[in-house]
Amino acid sequence: MQNNLKFYINGEWVDPVEPAVIDVINPATEQSFTQISAGSSADIDHAVAAARAAFDSYSQWSVEQRLDLLERIRTVYKTRFEDIAQAISTEMGAPIDMSRSSQTVIGMGHIKNAINILKDFEFETTENGMIVRHEPIGICGMITPWNWPINQVASKVMPALAAGCTMVLKPSEEAPLDSMILAEVLHEAGLPAGVFNLVNGYGPVVGEAMSNHHDIDMMSFTGSTRGGIAVAKASADTVKRVGQELGGKSANIILDDTDIATAVADGIDYCMDNTGQSCNAPTRMLVPNDKMEIAIEAARIAANNISIDDPTKAGNHLGPVVNKVQFDKIQGLIQTGIDEGATLIAGGTGRPDHLPTGYYVKPTVFANVNNQMTIAREEIFGPVIVIMGYEDDEQAIAIANDTDFGLAGYISSDNMEHATAVARRIRAGQIAINYKGGNAGTPFGGYKQSGNGREKGRWGFLEFLEVKAITGIKAD
């Protein structure tokens, strides 16, 4: 890539208003492998002006024109698939096979989902003597995280394009390159100038400039709860719509009518995926008290069987966490768990012996945890799981709901009626039974401090539309 120090604004790669650089660190080597520019409010002004100028024309495109555009984007994306996979693996540490099979392929899923929804969506209907129209909300500011970078970008950009919006994206400064490749994809696919704009930089500078910008109509934010609060506060003065997909501390209830050892092992593997760096990871495992010994031994074996290695190597293993700040935070919380009296049954502090360099964290499991301990309350965002016991369904549900978050929940059971009854009582936005998660068409978002609004599927598409009623079309 030749444009790392440039921003994509109004259909061109341009220099920042004021030169300033950010090192992009490879978490496997702890070394900078490239630099990007740090944007300013002046860069955001230029990007928003381009998006505003493009909106009047692009918002009037026909459904057929937008479908044709999305099909071209899908075609070009396929030609850059390996470039995106390699970028994600290098910038945030996803093992290359996982980067291809999970991280990068899901971007294709969001393009396909936008196409399918747009084909069938009725933008205008007549009912009860009025016309009801769905119209693009306008200029959208988008702030995305590093943990599933192309997934989070595509889940915003593709439905926004389908809806007829224009946009300004600030990807994470930790994992910016895959988004810059996407900008090249959109350009090659023939996206009109100004419809999509990209400015790199820091959240407190670029993100705030977007959030309080008078000419941005909507902010779509994915990241920490703290970051989401900052975006909402900065957006309040202009009363723009704010969509937030924030943190989680999801409960995984292993019901007593299933094979405990198998469900526990599956839960360990599911949670450790992406090195535990998923906002919906099932990090609080709840098991029946009378099956605790079985659960602890199954968890110990499963965690110790997880391998950790260089993300450039093929195979099924974990990579590093994204950066030193995250590594240090996780190490501190593991030590806090030990200090607060939880029983460490796998993992622990420090790097694996065979990986002295890189931000590698041992897959860690604690038992004898209560729901008031720090490791049961805080989002650790790493390969760390806590196991807690319960006496009956009522207590399990109470523990699961005793959290500031509400992004996801998990139920393991051989009785679907039983599992569904428990799932209905969990205060979270998405519940997976027996670890069968959603896809690009499944609504995703949370309750409580896990955010508001929904991404993906028809629900994510509706986030980028306003509803207009036209009355008086029939005489009384």
Q: In the β-sheet with 408-412, what is the strand arrangement from edge to edge? A: 343-346, 364-367, 384-390, 284-288, 251-254, 408-412, 430-433
Whether 279 is catalytic is yes
Active-site position among 91, 173, 174, 245: 245
Q: Are strands 196-198 and 343-346 parallel, antiparallel or unpaired?
A: unpaired
Q: How many CB atoms lie within 10 A of CB 76?
A: 17
b/e code 31-42 from CB counts within 10 Å (16+ = b): eeebebbbbbee
**Phi, then psi, of 360 in degrees rounded to 5:** -90, 135
The answer to whether residue 122 is catalytic is no
CA-based nearest residue to 218, from 159, 280, 174: 159
Q: How far apart are CA 95 and CA 184, in angstroms?
A: 24
Cβ neighbors of 438 (< 8 A, separation 6 or more) are 430, 432, 444, 456
Q: How far apart (Å, rounded) are the C-alpha atoms in residues 272 and 278?
A: 9
Candidates 140, 165, 271, 279; catalytic one: 279
Q: Which of 421, 413, 418 is nearest to 255 (CA)?
A: 413
Q: Measured between alpha carbons, how far is 124 from 122 in angstroms, rounded to an integer?
A: 5
d(CA 426, CA 138): 35
Q: Which residues are catalytic?
A: 245, 279
